[in-house]
Each structure stands twice: as structure tokens, then as C-alpha cells.
Amino acid sequence: MTAVAPVLTPIALSPIVLCADDYALDARVDAAVAALSQQGRLSATSCMVTAPRWPEAAALLRELRPRLSAGLHFNLTEGHGVRPGTGVGQVIAQAYLGRWPAAAARQAWRLQLDAFEQATGTAPDFIDGHQHVHQLPGIRAALQEELAARYHGHERPWVRCTAPAGQLWRQPKASTIAVLGGWTLGRRLRRAGVPRNPDFGGVYGFDAATPEAYGAHMAAWLAELQRGSLLMCHPATTPLEGDAIGTQRAVEYAYLRSDAFAQALDQARCRIAQGPLSPLFTAD
């Protein structure tokens, strides 16, 4: 009797969202985003519309969308387009001391959303913040007000929540970011019915000197992720001079385009989601 080969059921891979932050900051960041998107290694990129090269960078996005989602990377700290010399520590202190006037916060959101829409012809697919300033007191309230006034139904962008995935809250930097507004913003978004990612990863001290060291961080993140989890990254094709994480950007890029990353995804039974991402997120 002829033996019958067993029928193997394909293993379902859990879709995760990998977002490259700081698009438009530098041409080398934009080149990395384009290359990784074309390789199928990115889901999204968040755009710094206050950067001088934003109009040029926005034109390059057209050939990457809709496979690559594009969002607003709300900026209050980088220096271009905002008050010079305003560091993230100062912005956090002002927010928690109630020194961000509601009208000023709302105007900042309005100007940056206008800049995104004017350059791309569409609403952003999602919203997050450079150094996570979108989740701070006063700033987050202005965000929700502008979202409610500006977008309705399917046009409404989803919003990044920095609540850590699984046991990642045990990492001091991840828990600090969550305490500084991640958990609170998540609760506010849920009550308002605004779509958001279920949890978050990608936080570390920008201390991985090699792609292999960054890969060790990636393995730890992937082990904690669920369907629709969001990972952030900050790639650039070569180091950026004068940038606080300029060297680390090139390390991340080298790893994300490597076979080692593909193997890590397979081992974690994850895949990089592409195309419309909203179905992965919840508004309840």
C-alpha cells in the first residue's frame, strides 16, 4: 500500500506593525525608509513635517503608498519649525506644570496636520509624536479635540499608544515612557473610540553598537508582541553627523535589511503587516 504524505497546515503568522520614525529629517533617513519598504520590511513611516526637506520628501512618498502607511510625527523638540532650544525635558516639564496654553497646543496640531495634508493630498494614516510628545498633558487633549473637529468615520487616523507589550514594561525606559502619558493616552483613546495599537515595543537606550546587538533587542521585543503590536525604529542608510542617535540609525538599518531579521521574524512567527493597518487596531 502506498504511503500517503501527511497534509501540513501552514502556520499562521501574526501581523505586526514596524514603523520608521523621523521621515524627512534627512535624505539618508528617507532613503532607508524607501529601501526597507520596497524590501517588505516596513509597515509605516511617521513624517516630520516641520523639517526643511518635507515638501521634497513628501513627493517621494507617493510611490510608496498605500503599501507603506504614512503618519504625522508631531514635533515640539527637534528645533526646526518650533521654538529653538526646546528640549524634550523642557517640554515635559511645561506640560506637567500646565504651562502649555490650550490655544497654542491646538494651533501646533493644526499647523502640522495642515502641512501633512497640503503636501500629500490626504489625511495622515496615523499620528504619533517625536520623543512621544503627543501623549503629554495638554498636548494630548488638544490632539483629541483636533481629531474630533477635523476627521470623521474612516478618515480618522489611528494614534500611537506607547503602553508596553507583555513584560516589556519591566524595562525602565519603556515604563518611563508609558508613565509619562502612554497608559493615560491609551485610556483616553479607548473612551473616545479612537483606534490605537494594542501595545508597543522598540524602546531601548540606543546602545546597540552592532547589528547583532540590535538583533538581541529585536528578539526580546518579538517574543512579547501580539497581533497588531507596534514596533518603532529609526533607520538611516549611513550615520547622521550631529544627530544624537545618528550612529545607531545606521546600525538599525543594517539589521532590518538583513537575513537575520527575516529569520527572527520566522522564529517568532511574526510578519510585517503592509497596506491598510486600521483593521489590526481597536477603537473600544
The predicted structure's pLDDT at residue 10: 43
Q: Does the pLDDT of residue 6 top 70, yes or no?
A: no
The predicted structure's pLDDT at residue 22: 97
Over residues 230-243, the mean pLDDT reads: 95
* Closest by Cα among 12, 133, 120, 7 to 70: 120
C-alpha cell at 121: 493630498
- The secondary structure of residue 182, as a DSSP letter, is I
> What mean pLDDT is reported for the chain?
91
Q: Which residue has the higher pLDDT, 201 or 83?
A: 201
Q: Cis (ω within 30 of 0) for the bond into 66?
A: yes
What Rg do the C-alpha atoms of the chain give, in angstroms? 19
Over residues 97-119, the mean pLDDT reads: 94
Q: Does the pLDDT of residue 9 top 50, yes or no?
A: no
The predicted structure's pLDDT at residue 125: 95
The predicted structure's pLDDT at residue 87: 86
Q: Quick check: helix, strand or coil at residue 100?
A: coil
The predicted structure's pLDDT at residue 165: 87
The predicted structure's pLDDT at residue 8: 40
The predicted structure's pLDDT at residue 38: 95
Q: CA quadruple 170, 171, 172, 178: dihedral positive or negative?
A: negative
Ranges of beta strands (E only) in the chain are: 14-23, 44-47, 69-74, 126-129, 158-159, 200-201, 230-233, 270-272
The continuous run of DSSP H or E covering 189 comes out as: helix 183-192
Q: Lowest-pLDDT range, 77-91, 138-152, 189-203? A: 77-91
245-272 tens-digit pLDDT: 999 999 999 999 999 999 999 999 999 9
| Structural domains in the chain plus CATH codes | 14-280 (3.20.20.370)
Over residues 84-91, the mean pLDDT reads: 78
Q: How confident is the model at residue 154 (pLDDT cuts 50, 70, 90)?
A: confident
Over residues 111-134, the mean pLDDT reads: 96
Over residues 175-186, the mean pLDDT reads: 93
Q: Quick check: helix, strand or coil at residue 205?
A: coil
Residue with cell 531579521: 261
pTM score over 0.75: yes
What are the C-alpha distances in Å from 171 to residues 17, 203, 266?
A: 21, 9, 25
The predicted structure's pLDDT at residue 160: 96
CA contacts within 13 A on the Cβ side of 108: 25
Sequence-distant (≥ 6) Cβ neighbours of residue 65 within 8 angstroms? none
- Cα distance between residue 4 and residue 214, in whole Å: 45
**φ, ψ for residue 196, nearest 5 deg:** -155, 160
What are the C-alpha distances in Å from 75 to residues 72, 131, 164?
A: 9, 8, 22
C-alpha cell at 165: 507589550
* Closest by Cα among 179, 170, 95 to 140: 95
18-66 tens-digit pLDDT: 999 999 999 999 999 999 999 999 999 999 999 999 999 999 999 999 8
Q: How confident is the model at residue 7 (pLDDT cuts 50, 70, 90)?
A: very low
